[in-house]
Every structure is written in C-alpha cells, then in structure tokens.
Amino acid sequence: MKKITLLGMFAVVFFAGCVQQTQTQNLDNFAKCLTEKWAIMYGSATCPHCQKQKEMFGTSLQYINYVECTKEFARCANLKWVPTWEISSGNYLEGLQELATLAKATNCPLQ
C-alpha cells in the first residue's frame, strides 16, 4: 500500500512538471507576440506589483520589452504608477494586468 501511494505521488509530481513545461512554452510564444506587437512593460525593481507581474511570465519575461523606471526615469516620467503596459502609442494599461487582459488588448494568443 505504501509503495502504491509513493508511486502515485511520483506520478503527480512528474506530470505536473510536464504541464508546467508546456505552459512555459506557451508563455514564451505569448511574450514574443507581445514584443512583436510593440507592447512595453514599465516597472520598478522596488515595486511589489511589478515583481508579481514579472513572476506571471516566469522565464518568458526575457522576451518582454521591459523598461526599468529606476534606471530610465525619463521614459517613465509621464506614468502615474507602475506596472504600466504601453500597448500602442498613447494606449496604456495601468496596474497589474492579468495575462488574458494583455492577450485581449494585443490580439496575442494565450494558449
């Protein structure tokens, strides 16, 4: 009985890892699409909401056009707060955004 329980737990962990890997690949494609559509995330290393937004992308964050406002203050001077997403010239989404909201705003598929 103990072996069956242990085997079952191993299977859950193994398959959960497979699901996570697939999700990451999909987020890579989603992040690349955001970049192709010229979406830009403005944020700050000291902002907890910005950190949460970054965590939503995981390793796919590397494909996002990101502006660190503590280093590029002039690019962020007209923003009310961070995180802010510039979706198109003059079109902004302020605050922490769900991935589905970004997908809808940019027509990037979120799989």
Range(s) of the domain holding residue 99: 2-106
- Whether the Cβ atoms of residue 26 and residue 57 lie closer than 8 Å to each other: no
Residue 111 lies in a domain: no
- Whether the Cβ atoms of residue 60 and residue 28 lie closer than 8 Å to each other: yes
Rounded to 5°, angle at Cα 49 from 35 and 41: 20
Rounded to 10 degrees, the C-alpha dihedral 19/100/65/78 comes to -150
User: Per the structure, how many domains does the chain have?
Assistant: 1
pLDDT in tens, 45-96: 999 999 999 999 999 999 999 999 999 999 999 999 999 999 987 799 999 9
pLDDT in tens, 8-25: 444 433 444 444 444 555
CATH number of the domain residue 27 falls in: 3.40.30.10
- d(CA 36, CA 26) in angstroms, rounded, equals 15
pTM of structure: 0.76
